[in-house]
Amino acid sequence: QVHLVESGGGMVQTGGSLRLSCTASGRTFSTYTMGWLSQSPGKEWYLVAAITNSGNTYYAGSVKGRFTISENGANNTVWLQMNNLKPEDTAVYYCAVTIGTNYYCLGNGCLALYDYWGQGTQVTVSS
């Protein structure tokens, strides 16, 4: 079992920044990806950013150049630095882990692909 705890959400104005953190504990895996996924009312789940155990990163097109995902090298903490936030970034952001090399998902497929989830943290960007 893997336990994920997120922190760092909140409310900011357009153009502001937030840094989300996710700390993992429990089982360890040799091949995995840690991702940040979001869902907002009326929208489907989507993968915002991900980082593999080998350090490869993925960003959704809408956040590329504004968000940065990183991890602490001990593979138990991952951060999502969110800069130049926009109202459309408003959502609940979840940290999640998938075991293996496949990490891209969209919609309800994310719920099936990612094996462990945090409780979610709300990000609200006001205009």
Side-chain half-sphere of 86: how many Cα atoms within 13 Å? 8
Strand 18-26, strand 2-7: pairing: antiparallel
pLDDT at 51: 94
CA-based nearest residue to 81, from 54, 104, 109, 51: 51
Lookup: tokens for 39: 């869902």
Strands 10-13 and 121-126: parallel
95 confidence band (pLDDT: 50, 70, 90)? very high
Decide if pLDDT at 29 tops 90.
no
State the pLDDT confidence band at 75, using cuts at 50, 70 and 90: low
Q: Cα–Cα distance between 43 and 70 in angstroms, integer? A: 26
